[in-house]
Amino acid sequence: VLGILAGFMAPLWLSAGSGNHVGLFSYYAVLNAGIFAIAWFRPWRALNLLGFAFTFGIGTFWGVLQYVPDKFSSTEPFLLLFFVFYLLIPLLYARRQPASRRDLIDGSLVFGTPLVAFSLQAGMLHEQPMTLALCALGLAAIYAVLA
């Protein structure tokens, strides 16, 4: 847990103020890939929740302070990647449960991921309501298929 906390905080502690969001989100993508790899082999709920909280918390903080529509094309792929990571992690968690406990899910990630990711998407697309509506439709379709 201390390692993951330090991993997510390192770019903030060591930042020279360059404002390189692609570098920051690429680094977080590598950390989240590691969390996903661990989740593939072993359910570790605390690690998953910490990764989720730091990824989307720092992403939200950056978005409020630094996001401008010109950065959409370099930010959107990371939002989608993080959404996919935290969409699949609770599915892996549920699949790793014994057959008698398969009905257990990680509700924090199952319900938190679409709420947070779509809220960030709405912030990025607030001037494009039709595109945002299509994103909502796509998100609903994904969750309908998963249900």
pLDDT digits (tens, 9 = 90+) for 35-78: 999 988 887 888 999 999 999 999 999 999 989 999 999 999 99
DSSP 126: T
What integer pLDDT is reported at residue 12 of this predicted model? 87
Domain that holds residue 65: 2-146
Q: What is the pTM of this model?
A: 0.89
For residues 29 and 97, the model is more confident at 29
Distance between terminal CA atoms of the chain? 31
Output the 3-class SS for the chain.
CHHHHHHHHHHHHCCCCCCCHHHHHHHHHHHHHHHHHHHHHCCCHHHHHHHHHHHHHHHHHHHHHHCCHHHHHHHHHHHHHHHHHHHHHHHHHHHHCCHHHCCCCCHHHHHHHHHHHHHHHHHHCCCCHHHHHHHHHHHHHHHHHHC
Number of H helices, E strands in the chain: 6, 0
How many structural domains compose the chain?
Answer: 1
What integer pLDDT is reported at residue 50 of this predicted model? 94
What integer pLDDT is reported at residue 120 of this predicted model? 95
| CA separation for the pair 51, 47 (Å, rounded) | 6
